[in-house]
Amino acid sequence: MRVAAAPVNPSDLGAMDGLYPGATRFPFVPGNEGSGTVVAAGSGLFARALLGRRVACAASPPSGGTYAEYLVTRADRCLPLRRDVELEQAATLIVNPLTALGLMEGAKRGGHRAIVNSAAASALGRMVTRLAKREGVDVIAVLRSDEKREMALQEGARYVISSASDDFVSSLREAAQELRATLFLDAVAGEFTGQLLEAAPEGSTVVLYGALSSAALTADPRTILFGDRRVEGFYLPTWLRGKGLLGLARISGRAQRLLGRELSTHVRERVSLEEAPAAVEGYRHAMGSGKVLLVPGA
């Protein structure tokens, strides 16, 4: 595939930091997702059908990542694009939008009336809030500061709570009890997971889908043992493998229809591959201010 664009995601930083044991062998080309045009294909039926098509794709280790001019990946990791979807839009189609759809599918399947959305100012967190509003599910947005409070409220959050406040756990517990929020989406891990469990009503589930803190989970075991609370994991590749080709086509179609609305991504900076090292480090320290997009040849 000739790469048109590739975003910098927190999961890319995790791979570069060696947080996925066995998943990467250094040195390697980073980048989990991107978009472009298929310029060569293998002998498989689906692969041949993609030749010349515009696609969004996920990288296929150890063939290399999307921070490149060209990428070799498996055909079943490519999603053909609708004509009305631009390549730069499509570069962010997989990791965040499909994760947001997967998390909301779990919320609806579990009959949760309200959810707690951690890292709500991130690109993925904002998608979850907007999707929840569309589905009629109340959201308690958790932010690291009050800076993005108005944005979260405008996008559909019922309550916004700062995790930096001294009364964070008690405020979150009160809001969760009022809205009957029993699904807590955790992008942070570490001590934060324990705080969510402490605030969660009985019968709640904490779904861990990220590890921004890079720390091991810590929690008082009594909150789990005596409170009917549980911790589960959500990993996008595992969820997608259970969908099959038809299910994946359906999810891809829905994601593309929502790209300009609930699943839109704010891009703050477009840079060339030569500028990538500095841009990646800049994104590391300001992930909440918009996506960095690598554009080969820019």
For 68-97, write each residue's pLDDT tens digit: 999 999 999 999 999 999 999 999 999 999
User: Do 168 and 225 share a structural domain?
Assistant: yes
pLDDT recorded at residue 213: 87
Is 259 among the domain residues? no
> Are 115 and 216 found together in one domain?
yes
Q: Are residue 6 and residue 42 in the same domain, yes or no?
A: yes
Q: How far apart are CA 159 and CA 102, in angstroms?
A: 23
Helix (H, G, I), strand (E, B) or coil at 113: coil
Task: Over range 12-24, report the average pLDDT.
Answer: 79
Q: Report the pLDDT averaged over residues 126-136.
A: 97
Same-domain pairing of 151 and 216? yes
Same structural domain, 224 and 124: yes
Structure tokens at 97: 């939008």
Residues 31 and 112 in one domain: no
Q: Note the pLDDT of residue 23.
A: 65
**What tokens does 210 get?**
């990220």
Residues 88 and 115 reside in one and the same domain: no
pLDDT for the residue numbered 230: 95
What pLDDT does residue 288 have? 77
* pLDDT band at residue 22 under the 50/70/90 scheme: low
Q: What is the CATH number of the domain that holds 131?
A: 3.40.50.720
CA dihedral 247, 42, 67, 207 (to 10 degrees): 20
- Are 182 and 116 members of one domain? yes
Note the pTM of the prediction, 2 decimals: 0.92
- The whole-number pLDDT of residue 109 equals 95
Instruction: Please state whether beta strands 54-58 and 78-80 pair in parallel, antiparallel, or not at all (unpaired).
Output: antiparallel
Indicate the number of domains in the chain. Answer: 2
Buried b (16+ CB within 10 A) or exposed e, 125-145: bbbbbbbbbeeebbbbbbbbe
**99 and 87, same domain (yes or no):** no
Lowest mean pLDDT among 18-22, 30-34, 48-52, 89-93: 18-22
196-252 per-position pLDDT tens digit = 999 999 999 999 999 888 888 999 999 998 989 999 999 998 999 999 888 999 999
Q: How distant, in Å, are the alpha carbons of 68, 79, 103, 130 from that of 253? A: 26, 9, 17, 18
Is 156 within a domain? yes
**pLDDT, tens digit, 9 for 90 and up, residues 144-174:** 988 899 999 999 999 999 999 999 999 999 9
* One domain, residues 154 and 189: yes
Residue 26: exposure state from Cβ atoms within 10 A (0-12, 13-18, ≥19) = exposed
Residue 7, pLDDT above cutoff 90: yes
- Rounded CA-CA distance 35/5 in Å is 6
Exposed/middle/buried for residue 30 (C-beta within 10 Å: 0-12, 13-18, 19+): buried
pLDDT on residue 62: 77
Structure tokens, 122:
């991130």
List the domain range (segments joined by +) for residue 166: 95-237
Residues 241-298 have pLDDT tens digits of: 999 888 999 999 999 999 989 999 999 999 999 999 999 999 998 887 889 999 998 7
Q: Is residue 247 part of a domain?
A: no
Query: Is residue 111 located within the same domain as residue 191?
Result: yes
